[in-house]
Amino acid sequence: MTLKPLMLWGSIFFISANTLIFPQDAVLEDMLPGLRERAVVLDIVARVIEENQQEVWNATNSKVTIPGRPVGLRLVGENIVVAVQFTPYFRNDGNNVLVAQGQIWINVPNEGIRYKTTMQTIPMKFGEQIYFFPLGSRRSPDEAHIEIRLALHPYIKDQNNPDRNDDE
């Protein structure tokens, strides 16, 4: 899939872009004690970069989850929808992995809707920043792109602000 149509219609998408971080089903206090001890925080920074390397939109959020439970992100524009889910897993060997699943729908003028899906398993350590590009890596500096930066941290209840990492 080429990103040229995105470049032509990019400014319409970028102006009308919004984000939804899907809420979890239960607040952390309602979790069983064993699950609360395994809880993690996924920090998400999503950015849209125009062809001229100018950041035209961004959103930052942190969500509490447990291993095996996905955190979703949806970006909706006039000619594009990007839906991704990030699911952390802990392996028996002590290494963490993050499974990133993406779905993209782009309405290309005179061609119709194009659909693309991706899935990646990304090894990561706590505190390490990783980047996910739902539209693929940029092949040219003249192409617009979406960048999602992620970091995974163990959940630690902040004594000064007890609701810091809880669902809103």
Q: What is the pLDDT of residues 76-121, one digit of tens each?
A: 888 889 999 999 999 888 789 999 999 999 999 999 999 999 999 9
pLDDT value for 167: 44
Residue 32: the pLDDT is 64
For position 79, what pLDDT does the model report? 87
Q: Which residue ranges in the chain fall short of pLDDT 50?
A: 1-26, 159-168
> What pLDDT shows up at residue 99?
96
- Long-range contacts made by residues 126-132, C-beta under 8 angstroms, separation at least 24? 126/96, 126/152, 126/153, 126/154, 127/151, 127/152, 127/153, 128/152, 130/98, 132/84, 132/86, 132/100, 132/102
pLDDT at 62: 93
Model pLDDT, residue 28:
53
Predicted pLDDT at 162:
45
Nearest to 116 by CA among 2, 17, 19, 27: 2
What pLDDT was estimated at residue 13?
41
pLDDT score recorded for residue 165 = 43
